[in-house]
Amino acid sequence: MSGPAGAPARVPVVIVGGGPAGLLLARLLHLEGVDSVILERQTREHVLSRIRAGVIEWGSAATLRAAGAGRRMDRDGAVHDGVGLSFSGRHVRVDFKGLTGRGVVVYGQTQITRDLYDLVDASGIPVVDRAEDVMPHDVTGPSPYVTFRRDGAEHRIDCEHVAGCDGFHGVCRTVVPPSVLRTYERAYPFGWLGILSETPPVDHELIYAHSERGFALCSMRHSMLSRYYVQCSLEDGTEGWPDERFWDELRRRLPAEVAERLVTGPSIEKSITPLRSFVAEPLRYGRLYLAGDAGHIVPPTGAKGLNLAVSDVGYLAPALADAVRRGSTTGLDTYSERALRRVWKAVRFSWWLTMLMHRLAGGDGFDRRVQEAELDYLAGSEAAQRSFAENYTGLPL
């Protein structure tokens, strides 16, 4: 077996997964003078067709700029200096800029992925798509390697390190034996029905709405592309939510003055997303390192999924460069601990915001009154809003 055409038979780092985490890692390693190869199961067209959220923390934006991926983000992305919270007929704005001096950038994950692909191509980093049956081997020894099939042929790439950026359903986490791997999970008893429509956003900033009928979120991609969500049952299917029903339900969950501004139109994409929290520990096993969704999942309420992938890679890239170029393993030895410390804070914030804003299945009047009291406290407390803003715009790396 050997490396396929366009990919080396040996490289310092094999990256499994060609999503944002894998692409960003490859680019940052290239800037450090470290060669890598990316193995991706899907085609590039499939990867670029996936619709994902795009609320970028200030630290993630800085990392993307450092990688050279900030030009289009800064040109086309929308800087949000706050966010709206609606509940009990009230609408409160949390002023991120005034409270923390920072904001967030709304820029679609698909566009970030496209920008990173362009950089990876320009850097000459090999990307092997349609790589099937990828499997890391001997990751606890000094000479790991990765095997895979492509076009019916078997291939092998020898390396020094393997980065598992292959998502929640990827193979890399399965390499860690059950005696070592610890997992923590929380499944939420509701989902999000989301639509994309070529309509102007209802507001220039995101709106999170808590109502007796359930949660709603008003978001956007740009000035004529809006993304809206409503809390739904896990038993629902998109066929039971024609556009007319969706728009009617969304209006009923928003304050009247917001609902009056809502511009509706045909949906161009519609999907239902279950919500869950998941963390795997450790994120390092020998010379295998998990990053992004391969190691953790958060509900989309806090907009942390992509940002955690970026922060993981922000820790991992210089650690790998130190190991490959300078023989120092200090960064790799502390990678899992440093990354997980930030992961768990994001998991906590995402869980808190999810439980605060959604109508809880089986919840009684006491639960609802506690939610309302906490929202009222958040609306009236500068300290509470500052804590919210610090977590939403991104804790220090």
25-65 pLDDT, tens digit per residue, is: 999 999 999 999 999 999 999 998 876 768 999 999 999 99
Q: Which of 300, 315, 335, 358 is catalytic?
A: 300
145 is catalytic: no
Angle between helices 382-393 and 330-357 (to 10 degrees): 130
Q: Find the catalytic residue in 80, 210, 296, 358.
A: 80
Please state the pTM of the whole predicted model.
0.95
pLDDT digits (tens, 9 = 90+) for 232-285: 999 999 999 999 999 999 999 999 999 999 999 999 999 999 999 999 999 999
From 107, 145, 228, 392, active-site residue: 392
Distances (CA, A) of 225 to 196, 201, 219, 220, 229: 7, 7, 9, 6, 14
Tokens 């003078």, residue? 33
In the set 117, 208, 229, 289, the catalytic residue is 208
Spatial distance between the Cα atoms of 252 and 363, rounded to a whole number of angstroms: 21
For residue 365, the model assigns a pLDDT of 84
Q: What is the pLDDT of residue 51?
A: 67
SS3 43: coil
Domains of the chain: 13-80+103-184+276-353 (3.50.50.60), 189-275+359-393 (3.30.9.10)
Characterize the bridge pairing of strands 296-297 and 55-56.
unpaired
Is 270 catalytic? The answer is no
Q: Which residue has the tokens 């092997």?
A: 128
The rounded mean pLDDT for the chain is 95
Stretch 180-184: mean pLDDT:
98
Q: Is residue 81 scored above 90 in pLDDT?
A: yes
pLDDT digits (tens, 9 = 90+) for 314-362: 999 999 999 999 999 999 999 999 999 999 999 999 999 999 999 987 7
Q: Residue 5 above 80 pLDDT?
A: no
392 is catalytic: yes
Percent of the chain with pLDDT over 90: 90
Whole-number Cα distances in Å, 25 to 16, 70, 308, 312, 314: 11, 15, 13, 9, 8
Active site residue 208: yes
Contacts of 120 (CB under 8 A, 6+ apart): 23, 26, 27, 30, 38, 127
Specify whether 107 is catalytic. Answer: no
Three-class SS of 301-349: HHCCHHHHHHHHHHHHHHHHHHHHHHCCCHHHHHHHHHHHHHHHHHHHH
